[in-house]
Structure 1
Amino acid sequence: MDEAIRELQDRFGGLPTPAEAEDIWSDLWHEEAHNSTALEGNTLVLREVAKLLEEGKAVGAKPLRDYMEVRGYGDAAKWVYGQALEPGGWTDGSIVTVQEVRNIHHVLMTPVWTVAPHPDANDYEGPGSFRQHEIAEFSEGMKPPSWTDVDHLVRDWVESTNGLRGPSGDVSTPEKLARLHNRFEQIHPFLDGNGRTGRLVLNLLLGRMGYPPAIIYKRDRDKYLRAMRRADRGEDGPLAELIARSVTTNLYRFVLPAVAGPVKLVPLAALATEEMSENALRVAATRGRLKAVKAEDGSWRSSRNWLEQYEKSKYQRVKKSSSA
């Protein structure tokens, strides 16, 4: 994770802003809004999410609440991306503030709250406000603290989080991020939307430290929940691995290919697609079919130009074989 981001910084000057690389961030935006809401049971598919976020069109026949959940998440994620890299007057240089945490929840929950407010909420528990209810014990035994402790616990959490430093200094490890993410969910500061808010806050931290966002994919829901339960018991490793893998995957899948250009050498993971896996590219490089360079650590690097040449030659071989 840290090695990958150092390469991005050394070779390309760091993570591009949403204004500099709109296409990169749009893809991340769609994927995150889809998967993070799907973890909570939202039924919109990725195509419907993209249509809603880009054009404001509600395609399909899903419950209104589902569209409003995605709309709110999309608005909050876009705010987080911009806030992480170009904070303006919102922050004094801290990694995160209490005001930012509350604003993320406010932006996230306002659309769905207008059509389906929480049935138990009082007048002081709307979007952006801390809960004033007790939360029942979770199925695995962890019980969030009393609502009377939430305000000072969030402030303690913010203070602990601001002890993190970015990749250029005392490198913050995935374990620290996992611990902070899990602790936020344990506090459960809001009446509803804590999982989505926690993942958005995690991505604010990552962006502030120069990393792309982590996306917990809906296919990994069970793995994520198991990792969170283990983190409740002080075992941060599985959650840290999930976060690190997500950040690295997004760096290689979305960021490096877009900023590297067609002739820049990048790890094979940055060139992999659904049709052409990283392993298939590695086999092609090993056999000399894909032009690539072997780095000192034994990994292969290639370019988009070389990949296009390989795909053309592969197509020609298949065409020749089928006509024989």
Structure 2
Amino acid sequence: MTFEQEIAEYEKLRQQYQNIVVNKMDRAEYLNYNEILCSTHSCAIEGNTFSVDDTRELKEKGLGMIPAGKSLLEAFEMLDHFDAFEYIVQHIQTPLNEELLKETNRRVTCHTLSYKSPDATPGEYTTTDMAAGDTVFGSHEKLVAKVPELLASTEKAILAAQTSQSVATSSIAIPHPMVIAARFHGFYEYLHPFRDGNGQTGRLISNYILLRLGHPLLIIPAEQRQEYISALRMIRTEATDEHLILFFFKMATERMRNELKQKEINTNLFSTFLF
């Protein structure tokens, strides 16, 4: 399927999803629902074992009710993600800059970085070269130096997309918001500028981009971790982010389709009552 077909399918679903799911739900309720899903799956991709129900219980009851079998470290990781999620939601009108990026990472790693990397500071760039999985990242000095350029380039694309939503600019090729979010994510993950929390931070900023441009949040299910990692890896092995962009569209359309179907089923669940 081409990008044009992916965009057409996505936009058709987005209109239905916006009207049937998002607009019918109180905004605070909708964001709370997304916060729990986003936090569960984003942290699970990094190894956290909290289920959606565990995360909801922690969100509602705090540290006074850590689910059985879960560690305090996992609980703090989840609480930090709540804080970072709420921060980006509150700052979707703030330009994408180093302050926003660093503050997002600081909140993501606030209570866990000292355990994983005692010599590092939450929200500050790495002072050592990094490796993750089967990837040895480049010179940290050179990669960190590229972060402002990535942020400026992405901010420029966001502003162009915002302009295209309100003004006819058919003669100018403007990237779709999902393409901007995916492309930022691919570049950012290979810059890998922080000692920890790069995955959670990158996924949060991609959602900040989507929220700022009026699109639903993207949730990458933990069950799709391998496909997600493979799509990221292809940026290095095949020198293209096409696979990651298509993966983002796939996850977005599958989520909207599933939730629309779920709402239809639950609306029509009881056609008759038998006692």
Q: TM-score, normalised by structure 1?
A: 0.68
Deviation string 1:204-242 (CA, Å, 9 cap, x unpaired) is 111111112111101101110111111233332332122
Q: What is residue 218 of structure 1 aligned with on the other side?
A: 222
Does residue 154 of the first structure (1) align with residue 163 of the second (2)? Answer: no
SS, match of residue 272 in structure 1: helix
Q: CA deviation at 1:178?
A: 2.1
User: By how many angstroms is 1:4 displaced?
Assistant: 4.1
More off after superposition, 56-65 vs 29-38 = 56-65
Match of 1:37 in 2: 43
8 Å Cα contact 1:35/1:217 also seen in 2: yes
Q: Higher helix share goes to which structure? A: 2
The unaligned stretches of length 5 or more in structure 2 are 1-9, 168-173
**Does the CA contact (< 8 Å) of 2:177 and 2:210 recur in 1?**
no
Q: In the alignment, what sits opposite 1:112?
A: 112
Match of 2:34 in 1: 28
Partner of 1:2 in structure 2?
11
Which residue in the other structure is 1:130 paired with?
A: 125
| Structure with greater contact order relative to length (CA < 8 Å, sep ≥ 6) | 2
**Structure 1 counterpart SS, 2:126:** coil
Corresponding residue pairs, total: 250
State, as a whole percentage, how many aligned pairs show the same letter. Answer: 23
Amino acid at match of 1:197: T
- Give the match for residue 78 of structure 2: 70
After TM superposition, the structure 1 = structure 2 runs for residues 104-253 of structure 1, keeping only pairs within 5 Å, are 104-113=104-113, 116-119=115-118, 121=119, 125-136=120-131, 139=134, 142-164=135-157, 165-166=161-162, 168=165, 170-172=174-176, 174-232=178-236, 233-250=238-255, 252=256
Shift of residue 75 of structure 1?
A: 1.0
Task: Give the match for residue 6 of structure 2.
Answer: none
Q: 2: CA distance between counterparts of 1:275 and 1:66?
A: 35
Alignment match of 2:57 (pick from 51, 70, 90): 51
1:179-211 alpha-carbon deviations (Å, 9 max, x no partner): 221110000000111111111111111111111
Task: After superposition, give the CA deviation of every residue in 1:241-287 in whole Å (9 maximum; x if it has no partner).
Answer: 2212333445x37xxxxxxxxxxxxxxx55312995xxxxxxxxxxx
Q: Following the alignment from structure 1 to structure 2, what is the Cα–Cα distance between the partners of residues 76 and 247?
A: 21
Q: Is 2:266 the partner of 1:271?
A: no
Secondary structure, counterpart of 1:131 in structure 2: coil
Tell me how far 1:176 sits from its aligned partner: 3.8
RMSD, matched Cα: 2.9
The TM-score with structure 2 as length reference comes to 0.79
Q: Can you give the 5+ residue segments of structure 1 that lack an aligned partner in the other structure?
A: 254-268, 277-303, 320-324
Distance in 2, matches of 1:144 and 1:66, equals 26
